[in-house]
Amino acid sequence: MSPRALVVAVLLLPTLSALPAHAAAKVDCAKVKCLALTFDDGPGPSTGALLSTLKKSGAKATFFLMGKHVEQRPTLVKRMAAEGHEIGNHTWSHPSLPTLFDEEITRELRATQEAIEGLIGRAPRMFRPPYGHTDDRVAGLAGEEGMAQVLWTGTTLDWKLRDQKKIRAAVLRLAKRDGVILMHDVVPQTVQVMPALVKDLRKRGYHLVTVSTLLRGRKLTPGETYPI
């Protein structure tokens, strides 16, 4: 190695080792079995523990955040982004959107976009309607705010179950290739069962990825709904 090459190598080394782990391993869901775990209504008091579980296992998730909770726990929002998770909009105060006037829907969505962008430097490109209540008008207004609508393939009803064993069983029953599982990081039992559940899913061959990673490089168009 020439002295010049050596200098280059020495200069490059710290840069390479400083790359975050998630940048190194890009999962291709066309080749491997992927599943997207999604968590709504946070960030809440248990979200930090969930992020630690995900970090330990290298799993990525998608969080649909409520604006008023973003305002209460900004540090957790920054941490989600820094650790490679995806962030979506779940409105400011969790109303049933189809019951609102256009201006009210836009206000709910836009205030949340602004709160998140103010913290992580970019606004979400996806939103999830509270209670899954939606219609073409809601999806259209979200599209005007630059967002696609993301629903799910399986809902655990963890908020109703409130039991680690039952939540674990529900997720394992609902898990399927390219599935999108709905849970809540504001349900303590969901966060508590996650270390075991992540292991279960790994054993079944799942790669736990963000919703965007499921799309294999395709970008959602504002106003469209996924999965249909």
C-beta of 169: minimal distance to Ni ion in Å? 22
**135: its two tokens:** 């219609």
Q: Of 100, 111, 116, give the one whose Cα is nearest residue 65.
A: 116
- Burial zone of 192 (CB within 10 Å; 0-12 exposed, 13-18 middle, 19+ buried): middle
Q: How far from chain centre, in Å, is Cα 121?
A: 17
Q: In terms of CB distance, is 43 or 130 closer to Ni ion?
A: 130
C-beta of 133: minimal distance to Ni ion in Å? 10
| Cis amide leading into 43 (omega within 30) | yes
Q: In the set 29, 34, 37, 40, which binds Ni ion (CB under 5 A)?
A: 40
Q: In terms of CB distance, is 184 or 207 closer to Ni ion?
A: 184
Q: In the set 29, 38, 41, 194, which binds Ni ion (CB under 5 A)?
A: 41
- Positions in 157-216 near Ni ion (CB under 5 A): none
Q: Cα–Cα distance between 227 and 179 in angstroms, integer?
A: 9
Contact 116, 77 (CB under 8 A): yes
C-beta of 40: minimal distance to Ni ion in Å? 4
- The window from 34-42, 43-51, 73-81, 132-140 that contacts Ni ion (CB under 5 A) reads 34-42
Q: What letter represents residue 66's amino acid? A: M
C-beta of 33: minimal distance to Ni ion in Å? 27
- Positions in 105-164 near Ni ion (CB under 5 A): 130
- 227 half-sphere exposure, CB direction, 13 A CA radius: 16
Q: In terms of CB distance, is 28 or 135 closer to Ni ion?
A: 135
Query: Among 40, 41, 158, 185, which one carries the catalytic annotation?
Result: 40
Size of the site for Ni ion (CB under 5 A): 3
Q: Is residue 40 among the annotated active site residues?
A: yes
Query: Among 69, 184, 185, 207, which one carries the catalytic annotation?
Result: 184
**208: its two tokens:** 């736990």
SS3 126: strand
Residues contributing to the site for Ni ion (CB under 5 A): 40-41, 130
- So which residues are the catalytic ones? 40, 184
